[in-house]
């Protein structure tokens, strides 16, 4: 039985706004260089809840990065773990879209641009903290100035 649509519309510009909920590009590797798993495989393994309308999220028989429902900070995929077979959420982009940059100043005395990069779900809350309190630094690191 087919769980998700076989055909989806893709955008070859590989750009997105905000958290990438609308992203429909072709990137299929994580920031750490791992290949993304096929979304159908993820649904079959129970890692992702099966939506009644998966086409709405551009999920299907492919392994391209997505952000279904806009639940994460940037588009992501599931990639097999380095030392285990369990699938893990891995981000495909280090920064959100530049429209997230509102001109807000840094609120901390010391902000390090390397703290602004999204890498994986384990570090996402820490990265969100820096985006909130080191906004100007993070926007500059993302090339949004």
Angle at 19 between CA 115 and CA 61, to 5 degrees: 115
The tens digit of pLDDT for each residue in 26-55 reads 999 999 898 998 887 765 555 555 555 555
Supply the pLDDT for residue 12.
65
The tens digit of pLDDT for each residue in 49-62 reads 555 555 555 577 88
**Hey, is 98 helix, strand or coil?**
helix
Q: Which residues contact 83 (CB under 8 A, 6 or more apart)?
A: none
Location of structure tokens 């100035």: 145
Cβ–Cβ under 8 Å, residues 79 and 88? yes
Residue 24 to residue 29: CA distance in whole angstroms:
14
pTM metric for this prediction = 0.80
**What does pLDDT average to over the chain?**
81
The tens digit of pLDDT for each residue in 66-87 reads 998 898 999 999 887 655 556 7
Average pLDDT over residues 103-132: 93
Supply the pLDDT for residue 142.
94
Supply the pLDDT for residue 47.
56
More confident residue, 2 or 23: 23
pLDDT reading at 88 higher than 70: yes
Supply the pLDDT for residue 15.
81
């Amino acid at each position: 039985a087919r769980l998700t649509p076989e055909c989806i519309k893709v955008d070859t510009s590989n750009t997105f706004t905000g958290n990438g909920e609308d992203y429909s590009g072709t990137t299929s590797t994580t920031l750490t260089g791992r290949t993304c798993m096929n979304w159908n495989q993820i649904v079959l393994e129970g890692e992702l809840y099966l939506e009644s309308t998966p086409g709405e999220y551009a999920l299907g028989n492919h392994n391209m990065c997505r952000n279904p429902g806009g639940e994460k900070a940037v588009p992501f995929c599931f990639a097999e773990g380095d030392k285990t077979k369990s699938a893990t959420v891995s981000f495909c982009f280090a920064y959100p879209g530049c429209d997230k940059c509102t001109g807000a100043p840094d609120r901390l005395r010391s902000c390090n641009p390397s703290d602004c990069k999204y890498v994986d779900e384990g570090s996402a809350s820490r990265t969100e903290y820096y985006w909130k309190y080191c906004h100007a630094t993070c926007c500059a690191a993302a090339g949004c100035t």
